[in-house]
Amino acid sequence: MVHHSGVWIDHRQAVIVSLSGSEPTVTRIESGAEKHVRSSSGSRQAGSGESHHGTPEDVIDRKFDNHLKSYYEQVAESLKDAEAILVMGPGEARTEFQKQIKSKELLAKVVGNEKCDKMTDPQLVARVREYFVSTAKTA
């Protein structure tokens, strides 16, 4: 049985639509990452809280990046059984996710990457179905 999947992803959550069998399944994975905000001051004074690990902002950046890597790995693990994957999302997370899986066989299964805003679950299911039906017609 053919197993196609679509994933809508941003830094807060991933919504995975799996099309195999008669009914699609929708799975959510929450990132648990807090909103990433950088200080707008932009000025760093030597000795003001810096250590050999960098500024407090650098530590927060690294922690956020590591958290996202773990989140992307969890999403990738959920997609491992898919034969073809459509990646969707509004911004950076969509491309970051693909970079994270670059060295894995999963990347070879990514057949599309689309920029799109948040959708409801039924809209996501319809978009994933539409994508794979139109891809099958052109193949």
Q: What is the CATH number of the domain that holds 67?
A: 3.30.420.60
* Tens digits of residue pLDDT in 37-78: 544 444 444 444 444 556 777 777 788 888 888 999 999 999
pLDDT of residue 44: 42
Residue 52 maps to a domain: no
Q: Where are the beta strands (DSSP E) in the chain?
A: 4-9, 13-19, 25-30, 84-89, 110-115
Residue 41 maps to a domain: no
- Count the domains in the chain: 1
Residue 38 maps to a domain: no
Q: What's the pTM?
A: 0.78
Residue 129 maps to a domain: yes
- What gap in Å lies between CA 107 and CA 94, rounded to an integer? 13
* Tens digits of residue pLDDT in 77-125: 999 999 999 999 998 999 999 888 865 688 899 999 999 999 999 999 9
pLDDT of residue 42: 45
Give percent helix, percent strand, percent coil of the chain, each to the nearest 5: 40, 25, 35
Residue 18 maps to a domain: yes
Residue 87 maps to a domain: yes
Q: Where are the beta strands (DSSP E) in 31-133?
A: 84-89, 110-115
CA dihedral 88, 100, 72, 42 (to 10 degrees): -90
Sheet strand arrangement including 110-115: 25-30, 13-19, 4-9, 84-89, 110-115
Which residue, 104, 96, 99, is CA-closest to 79? 104
Residue 48 maps to a domain: no
Residue 40 maps to a domain: no
Determine the structural domain holding residue 61 and report its residue range: 4-32+57-138
